Structure 1
């Protein structure tokens, strides 16, 4: 099956996947692809960090570098944390500790083993169980798992979880030129997923082209955030000069 090379991260260049010998077999990938989102990640969890689906360190480091001048922060939250890659961003920036939340028990089990000093919470992020508990929230590559109609509940929950003045940050790909391989890779992936979900149950929701910046900005603003973006120039530019990736900064009103 074809996946964008950055997998869950949703940003960067795209190519046919190459797995390490420790990664999942073709049969295991097929089983994941025919499962629900939750069950699929439970199955993939033990080998997830050996796949290109894990958010690359370059994206994490570029995000941390962009956030550093906006800190320091108190407590941090990784939304849809998976196996905990986002802690590479949160730990240096958050002095009061970090929490990861995900609905996959398998992914959280891996996160707990790798990072026993963090707090891990199993929950549906469309109904986050937090109120004014965090100063910084991040998310990497998860937005494609939510249909556009589900994003308002997700963003409202993040807004509620943040303290006044808190910040929600996540990287997104810049627009792909129609002449680029990446544009057609994303289009082909989304079409393949729509066909898969039309003929097979349960659905596996993962659509890259439903997460454009204008739609995300509208949903975040409707949830009470003030939204800006900064280019992650360390990740390069397209041939037309536009950044390959931007960091969305959604700020909750109030004094930090």
Structure 2
């Protein structure tokens, strides 16, 4: 499915009937061949904006998955790069990709030319709601992960991220504009979320993955509740284009630990 190297329909069904952690362990070897991986255009656009705000010395990727976002941290100047995820399978794929990058002298999408790779990335298996770090980073990022957390869990995640950042540290992540009501994208995401809610009502363990629970207004409110100072106007990512009304399709949320 998706590509010749991607998962089959049967493999996706098995994943969907597993827990989030087990599901991603199963999907990990083929994850980068699915649409679930954050597109390079999003990574590159984020990297350019953060590089202009940096340099940052130590960077943390929350729910790093197979490591697609690690190059964004390096592009922002981070010499220490750490990725955290609960899935051992995803971390194993990230470690392999990072080793290949070291051998080839390249960081992949979002990486700055000539980025310093000494030491490679540190990959930590941990629950991002209870991070094993205190005031250790000046930049944290996350890509495509917040749909795996219900509201209460996101609050714990943001509180943990705040503690992991140094005073003045920055948490950054892209948020896409919601699809226009009645559009194909609107009905696709609505239908997916409805199916997932039915699945979770009938089957255990739950698999939390929703697309319509985290608009920009909710993100800003939850960040403020966690003690972040949130910019009044999130940065537009012009590479992602505009909607018919002229507003950006995607913005970069920037939240600082005071």
TM over 0.5: yes
Per the TM alignment, residue 95 of structure 1 is displaced from its structure 2 partner at its CA by 3.4
Q: 2: CA distance between counterparts of 1:175 and 1:40?
A: 26
Which contiguous aligned blocks of 4+ residues in structure 1 show a shift greater than 4 angstroms?
A: none
Are 2:156 and 1:153 aligned?
yes
Per the TM alignment, residue 136 of structure 1 is displaced from its structure 2 partner at its CA by 0.6
Are 2:51 and 1:46 aligned?
no
The one-character-per-residue Cα deviations of 1:102-160 (angstroms, maximum 9, x if unpaired) are 00000001111111321000000111111011111000000000001111110000000
Give 2:105's aligned residue: none
Question: Which residue of 247, 251, 255 maps to 1:246?
Answer: 251
Are 2:175 and 1:192 aligned?
no
Q: 2: CA distance between counterparts of 1:113 and 1:69?
A: 29
Per the TM alignment, residue 187 of structure 1 is displaced from its structure 2 partner at its CA by 0.9
Corresponding residue SS for 2:169: strand
Contact 2:130–2:160 (8 Å) recurs in 1: yes
Are 2:123 and 1:140 aligned?
no
Q: 1: CA distance between counterparts of 2:145 and 2:167?
A: 24
Question: Which residue of 104, 117, 129 maps to 1:126?
Answer: 129
The one-character-per-residue Cα deviations of 1:84-117 (angstroms, maximum 9, x if unpaired) are 0001211121332200000000000111111132
Are 2:81 and 1:98 aligned?
yes
Which residues of 2 match residues 1-256 of structure 1 at below 5 A? 19-116=2-99, 117-228=120-231, 229-253=234-258
Corresponding residue SS for 2:78: coil
Q: 1: CA distance between counterparts of 2:197 and 2:96?
A: 35
Give unmatched runs, 5+ long, in structure 2: 100-119
Contact 1:98–1:119 (8 Å) recurs in 2: yes
Corresponding residue SS for 1:216: helix
Contact 1:169–1:249 (8 Å) recurs in 2: yes
Mean CA deviation greater in 194-203 or 18-27 = 18-27
Give unmatched runs, 5+ long, in structure 1: 1-17
Corresponding residue SS for 2:256: strand
Q: 2: CA distance between counterparts of 1:26 and 1:96?
A: 40
Per the TM alignment, residue 179 of structure 1 is displaced from its structure 2 partner at its CA by 3.2
Corresponding residue SS for 2:254: strand
Aligned residues: 236
CA RMSD of aligned residues (A): 1.1
Please give the TM-score of this superposition, normalised by the length of structure 2.
0.89
Contact 1:33–1:40 (8 Å) recurs in 2: yes
